[in-house]
């Protein structure tokens, strides 16, 4: 005599379906969990593996390197730190973790301040420290990301601004604002709520202590002392646009290095 252990799930509930329309989040929702983060199965699988490796005692740097290797990424990718740093926003609705603000609340709450909890004690990852102190470093590029949500968590770490200011390599930023509007995301909204002028010039001032070069859209006129500013097409709609801008960044870095 044989028995099949089927548990309490009935066939008509859809469990065990093999079609692609049934996702991991469908299971989470069915079991009463939160699904507001809306990650796809590939992302969930990556996060599960990352959590498992971290629980095994591997550092975030080691986990990142292992995942990159498995995915065939040839270039070195490293986190800013192996310590825990959390971006928390002061809002009109109270303190809110970054992901809750950005994804769950759709950036709607008014921001009154931003904290990077743990940054004051966090140590630079070995890879970041090694890169910034490398005498052969040819350039540092700050992408047109949100200065306050994407770049500032890195700059909040001790010594990062100092190392950027002292590196002999040119430090170049690409403006995240064109004609007073954000290329993407809530940058302008956040700047207004923090009483900062939403302009490419204001973002440059935010980086002014270490900036050597700044790339802006032709629609913006930015003049900075001791920082060379060049206009270029910085709105990237296609892969070709991204490659073109990347090549201009590299050429600009060479130009600045040749002037030293």
pLDDT in tens, 210-260: 999 999 999 898 989 899 999 999 999 999 999 999 999 999 999 999 886
d(CA 85, CA 80): 10
Mean pLDDT (whole number) for 197-216 = 95
Write down the domain spans for the chain. Answer: 84-117, 133-260
3-state secondary structure of 245: helix
Q: At residue 158, what are phi and psi to the nearest 5 degrees?
A: -60, 135
Please write the tens of the pLDDT for every residue from 67-83: 999 999 999 999 999 99
CA separation (Å) from 35 to 4, 21, 103, 220?
32, 16, 11, 41
133-260 CATH: 3.40.50.10680
pTM comes to 0.85
What is the pLDDT confidence band of residue 18, given thresholds at 50, 70 and 90?
low
pLDDT at 33 over 60: yes
d(CA 99, CA 81): 19
* 74 Cβ neighbours under 8 A, 6+ residues apart: none
pLDDT at 23 over 90: no
* CA-wise closest residue to 112 among 197, 201, 189: 189
pLDDT at 119 over 60: yes
């Amino acid at each position: 005599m044989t028995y099949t252990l089927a548990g309490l799930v009935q066939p008509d509930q859809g469990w065990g379906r093999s079609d692609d329309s049934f996702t991991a989040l469908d299971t989470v929702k069915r079991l009463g969990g939160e699904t507001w983060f809306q990650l796809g199965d590939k992302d969930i699988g990556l996060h599960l593996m990352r959590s498992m490796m971290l629980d095994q005692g591997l550092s975030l740097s080691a986990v990142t390197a292992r995942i990159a290797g498995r995915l065939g990424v040839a270039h070195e990718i490293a986190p800013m730190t192996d310590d825990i740093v959390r971006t928390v926003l002061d809002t009109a609705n109270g303190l809110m973790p970054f992901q809750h603000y950005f994804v769950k609340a759709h950036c709607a709450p008014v921001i009154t301040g931003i904290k990077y909890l743990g940054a004051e004690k966090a140590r630079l990852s070995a890879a970041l420290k090694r890169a910034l102190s490398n005498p052969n470093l040819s350039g540092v590029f700050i992408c047109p990301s949100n200065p306050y949500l994407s770049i500032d968590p890195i700059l909040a770490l001790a010594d990062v601004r100092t190392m950027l200011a002292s590196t002999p390599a040119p430090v170049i930023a690409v403006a995240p604002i064109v004609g007073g509007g954000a290329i993407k995301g809530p940058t302008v909204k956040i700047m207004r709520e923090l009483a900062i002028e939403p302009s490419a010039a204001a973002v440059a001032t935010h980086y002014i202590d270490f900036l050597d070069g700044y790339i802006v859209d032709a629609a913006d006129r930015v003049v900075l002392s001791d920082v060379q500013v060049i206009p270029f097409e910085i709105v990237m709609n296609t892969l070709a646009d991204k490659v073109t801008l990347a090549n201009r960044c590299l050429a600009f870095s060479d130009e600045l290095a040749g002037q030293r």
